[in-house]
């Protein structure tokens, strides 16, 4: 008997007569290898398409969950601190610095904006008695703290001994670095009433003077230490 030649439609009939996937040798508990791979591909595609939504929803759930990690801060936040003995408040963006808040919210412009990345010391202020670079300190970190700026030194028309000594010793030229040096020196004299030259140099090591008046600055601090501070 001769083999019957192929006719149109034979291929489709052969496909229809192929064994069901569930009866294939590679089937396991009703799931074929082909079905598994097909389902896996569909699942990956769905994940890729909805990943952003799922992430956002996870973040919302995390923020709402009690005791969970805090959500990302957005909008403005209230800050209340004591500046030069007075309680002050502001509503600030979380990215704003203490320097920006002092100058623009409280109009305390004695603290200078110079390098704006913590390398010159011109913006030095005292926070809870310690020197900090205001340009590198977030305003939010000053919440509840006591901050002293160069405006706190004079009492009306009476200069602080440090200010008077800086004038007498000609310890300033352009003046941009002067507020930072004054506050670093005040922090030293608050803790050490009789510092040595090395003590003064160490206390002012984070402050730069582009005019090069370092010897006069050191002499001024030592002179001020001899007076009632």
Determine the Cα–Cα distance for residues 157 and 65; give it in Å rounded to an integer. 56
Angle between helices 161-168 and 214-225 (to 10 degrees): 140
Determine the Cα–Cα distance for residues 185 and 206; give it in Å rounded to an integer. 11
Domain ranges of the chain: 76-150, 153-229
Looking at residue 85, the DSSP 8-state letter turns out to be T
Q: Which residues contact 183 (CB under 8 A, 6 or more apart)?
A: 124, 125, 126, 131, 148, 149, 150
Q: Report CA-CA distances (Å) from 136 to 36, 99, 123, 178.
A: 56, 8, 9, 18
Determine the Cα–Cα distance for residues 36 and 162; give it in Å rounded to an integer. 80
Determine the Cα–Cα distance for residues 104 and 109; give it in Å rounded to an integer. 8
What local confidence, expressed as pLDDT, does residue 157 receive?
Answer: 92
> Are 227 and 206 in contact, with CB atoms under 8 Å apart?
no
Instruction: Give me the percent of the chain exceeding a pLDDT of 90.
Output: 66
Q: Which residues contact 129 (CB under 8 A, 6 or more apart)?
A: 146, 187, 190
Architecture of domain 153-229: Orthogonal Bundle (1.10)
User: Which one has a higher pLDDT value, 158 or 49?
Assistant: 158
Domain spanning 76-150: which CATH class is it, in words?
Answer: alpha beta
Q: What pLDDT digit, counting tens, does each position of 50-96 carry? A: 444 333 333 333 344 456 665 555 689 999 999 999 999 999 999 99
- Mean of the pLDDT values across residues 185-203? 97
Q: What pLDDT digit, counting tens, does each position of 13-55 carry? A: 444 444 454 444 444 445 555 555 566 555 555 444 444 433 3
């Amino acid at each position: 008997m001769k083999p019957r030649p192929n006719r149109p439609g034979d291929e489709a009939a052969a496909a229809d007569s192929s064994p069901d996937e569930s009866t294939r040798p590679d089937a396991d508990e009703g799931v074929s290898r082909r079905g598994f791979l097909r389902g896996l591909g569909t699942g990956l595609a769905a994940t890729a398409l909805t990943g952003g939504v799922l992430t956002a929803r996870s973040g919302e759930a995390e923020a709402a969950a009690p005791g969970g990690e805090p959500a990302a801060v957005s909008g403005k936040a209230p800050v209340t601190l004591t500046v030069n003995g007075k309680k002050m408040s502001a509503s600030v963006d979380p990215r704003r610095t203490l320097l920006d808040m002092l100058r623009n919210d409280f109009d305390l412009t004695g603290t200078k904006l110079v390098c704006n990345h913590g390398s010159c010391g011109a913006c030095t202020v005292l926070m809870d008695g310690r020197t900090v670079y205001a340009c590198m300190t977030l305003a939010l970190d000053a919440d509840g703290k006591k901050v002293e700026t160069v405006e706190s030194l004079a009492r009306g028309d009476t200069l602080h001994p440090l200010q008077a000594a800086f004038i007498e010793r000609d310890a300033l030229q352009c003046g941009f670095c002067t507020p930072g040096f004054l506050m670093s020196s005040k922090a030293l004299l608050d803790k050490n009433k009789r510092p040595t030259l090395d003590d003064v140099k160490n206390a002012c090591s984070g402050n730069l003077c582009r005019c090069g008046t370092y010897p006069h600055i050191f002499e001024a601090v030592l002179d001020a230490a001899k007076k009632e501070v």
